[in-house]
Amino acid sequence: MHSEFWNTRYAEPGYAYGTAPNAFLVSQARHLRSGMRVLAVADGEGRNGVWLAEQGLAVLSVDASDVGLRKAQALAAERNVALGTEIANLFDWVWPVAQFDVVVAIFAHFPPAHRARLHASMLRALRPCGLLILEAFTPQQLKYQSGGPRALEMLYSAETLRTDFADAEILELEETLTDLDEGPYHRGQAAVVRLLARRAV
């Protein structure tokens, strides 16, 4: 885990992925209710966590980058919302169990040695019937220069996610091409996979 990589990126002026929330997350707004508890996994500079807090949710943003989470707190203060933050390497974080109504993982890419276990931890962090909202780049993204890891093993297909979340009810799962306009590091045509899954009762 290279928190120096992310700290260096987030030390640049501005917000690497912008301050507006991810479009797929916003498209799921109908599932979100004020007062819900949400875990924003690998939330970086907090654009998604802050937007969730603005919708009235109680948000815990977890990321390995202290620089990123400091900017997340600054963004939350600017928008007058409370944001819980925790600096942690998710590889060895003590994951909460059955605590959250929603888990959000937007462009949270992990190497194969950790991926399936972390995805299982995300599911376990949900209360029964809780929702997971996830977007990630697919292997097709290697054809594009619009962001994301450049290593095949860090990219997720729909099949990968179907396997990792086999214990959940898959409500939406699709690979698609999209146009990203998320700050300087996510811009242009991109190949993504989008998942909405529900933890079983």
Binding region for ligand SAM (CB under 6 A): 1, 6, 17, 22, 42-44, 47-48, 63-65, 68, 89-91, 106-108
Instruction: Provide the strand spans (E) within the chain.
Output: 37-41, 58-63, 84-87, 100-106, 126-137, 169-182, 186-198
Residues 117, 2, 187, CA angle at the centre, nearest 5°? 90
Nearest CB to ligand SAM, comparing residues 101 and 135:
135
Query: In the complex, which residue's CB is closest to ligand SAM?
Result: 44
Q: Is 146 exposed, middle or buried, given 0-12, 13-18 or 19+ CB atoms closer than 10 A? A: buried
Q: How far is the CB of 156 from ligand SAM (least distance, A)?
A: 13
- Smallest gap from Cβ 200 to ligand SAM, in A, equals 26
Could you tell me the smallest distance in angstroms from the CB atom of residue 139 to ligand SAM?
Answer: 17
Cβ closest to ligand SAM, residue 42 vs residue 200: 42
Based on CB atoms, which residue is closest to ligand SAM, 129 or 179? 179
Residue 89 or 163 with smaller CB distance to ligand SAM:
89
Nearest distance in Å: CB 80, ligand SAM: 20
CB-nearer residue toward ligand SAM: 48 or 73:
48
What is the distance between the alpha carbons of residues 43 and 162, in angstroms, rounded to a whole number?
23
CA proximity to 142, closest of 154, 150, 134: 150
Cβ atoms 173, 133 nearer than 8 A: no
Token pair belonging to 9: 């990126």
> Least distance in Å: CB of 117 to ligand SAM?
11
